[in-house]
Amino acid sequence: MPKQSTARRLFAYALVYKFRIIGALLILCCAVGAELGGPYITKTIIDQHLSTDARDLAAVLGLLALYMGLLLIASIGNFTQAYILQSTALQIIKNMRMDLMRHIQRIPLRYFDNTPIGQVVSRIANDTEAVRDLFMSFMATFVVSMVQLTGIFAALFILDVRLALFCLLLLPLFVLIMIIHLKYSKVFITIMRARLSDMNAMINESIVVMPIIQAFRREKVTIDEFEVLNEDRYVNQIKQFRIFSLSSRNIVGTIGSLVTALVIWYFGRESLQTAISFGVFYAFIDYLGRIFQPIIGIFDQLTNAQRAFVSADKVFAIMDMEGHEVGKTDHVSRPEGIVKFDDVTFAYKAGENVLKRISFEAHKGETVALVGHTGSGKSSIINLLLGFYEPDDGKITIDGRDISTFSKQELRKHMGIVLQDPFLFAGDIKFNVSLYNEEISLDRVKNALKDVGAAPFIEQLPNGYDEQVVERGSTLSSGQRQLISFARALAFDPSILILDEATASIDSETEGLIQKALKVVSEGRTTLVIAHRLSTIRDADQILVLHRGEIVERGNHDTLMALEGRYYKMYQLQTRERALEV
């Protein structure tokens, strides 16, 4: 199915509220009509009641009252249409932002591997906000201006057809100026939006790795890199403003002054030949002055419109990415947990296999450990099992069913994962265990924390289970964060548990607590462990030794030690290192 243009897609969002928009436009037409009636009433007063000997005060007061009434109607109408249009614009952007956020949840993990977080944040926050300006500012201004221009030219034709036809020639001239403005301005606006996205990405990265930047004295280099982006955005912004200054108010104001002078000359010449009324002259000048205000308004909003279309292109580019629907998991039955890899091959980049013909099987209650040096393929096996990536060849099954036939949510519903660097969300401790899952009660949270040995230190905190945790849990020690993540896995009661180097970055004293927690959490479940410390997997039912994407050894601890192969050497090396530490 061919992609729709950006304008069509934006129009589709607005079409949802077509009745509100049509209603606002009808109110707008009434308001504009009331506004444009003012000069005609003034013309009537001048020609019929002030320029004659018979001055009817009652008629003048009546017309003035009508004028005041029209101004009041115009004021109420303008407020009402502006409120309806702008509230509708906010609703449209709210819908677009939610659609974008929903789609981001569907996008495969590979996209986030190659895209800075700051750029994704910029799409959701900055780019949708720029689109909001399109609906709230430009669209409202454009519609108001078109209605006003239509009414003004109707009044001009009533007053003088020839001069109205001459003024009508101004519109193609202004359209040509707008086209030139848009053509040259878009280049600079596109660069400006790209640099803003790059700056957001760099700011995000700098904040996340600030300890590293300061530890390695990279502050000046980081500032210099940011200055390059900032300077480039500034230069292009200046160029865009230069185009705007030349092609907006200045040129419209100049043309407006020349046309006004021409109209005065025209009416002056006519007055020598015919008895043209001063009222008609006043009304024509008044209406003529009103022509240029809506045109200036459109010019003033052209930059917002271009920025919005550039931003909308970026937003829709993400929405056009292929994604997986977020499926419901209410009726997903709990699996036995038999995991099988059958001749699986996988590459992040075509032709560079990181896994080669991987085959193994893990049953309920068994612990399978994956060991090997960095880059051997341990994490890739976990990523495939979780459905973050698809294998290039071979098959992965759970209870005999190919995982490619599961929805991603169905696949992960009964999986639990504990990472080497456990992530804690901003919120209290009980939330970080339950993640607002309605099926997990407070008692279940407390029991899970107690079972993994986390209850003693939590109950000593000032607010206990209600203690607030800052993002990433930086106020807690690594061991405390790890125990909370174990409790989270236990509370969700998965049938398949994944431990990704969960004991790699903790001290020996905390390791004892983690080991006890590990035994509690893994009991009765299929457990896959990526192990850095080989001493923590001595009791594993099966140990798979990986080297350059292949399983080169397999068996339990005793079997592999007897082989005196790669595992034996790794274990001996770690044992000596730990002896030296002591």
Radius of gyration of the chain (CA): 36
Query: Which position has the token pair 């848009």?
Result: 182
Burial class (CB in 10 A: 0-12, 13-18, 19+), 552: middle
Distance CA 259, CA 265 (A): 10
Residues for the chain: how many in total?
A: 582
For the chain, which domains are there? Answer: 6-319 (1.20.1560.10)
Packed helices 57-106 and 6-15: angle between N→C axes, nearest 10 degrees: 110
pLDDT at position 111 is: 76
Tell me, what DSSP letter sits at residue 554? E
Distance CA 453, CA 446 (A): 11
pLDDT at position 277 is: 65
pLDDT at position 1 is: 39
In 3D space, the residue among 505, 489, 361, 349 whose CA is nearest the CA of residue 416 turns out to be 489
Name the pTM for this structure. 0.65
List the structure tokens of 417. Answer: 């994962």
∠ CA 416-421-427, nearest 5°, is 75
Distance CA 556, CA 541 (A): 6
pLDDT at position 275 is: 47
In sign, the C-alpha dihedral spanning 128, 129, 131, 136 is positive
In 3D space, the residue among 578, 561, 572, 555 whose CA is nearest the CA of residue 369 turns out to be 555
Distance CA 182, CA 303 (A): 8
Distance CA 137, CA 86 (A): 8
Block means of pLDDT (10 residues each) for the chain, 582 residues, are: 71 88 85 79 73 67 85 88 85 88 80 74 79 73 79 81 79 81 80 83 79 78 88 87 70 74 70 58 76 79 77 85 66 84 91 92 92 88 89 92 86 83 81 85 88 85 84 73 85 88 60 72 86 82 93 93 91 72 50
In 3D space, the residue among 102, 82, 161, 546 whose CA is nearest the CA of residue 355 turns out to be 546
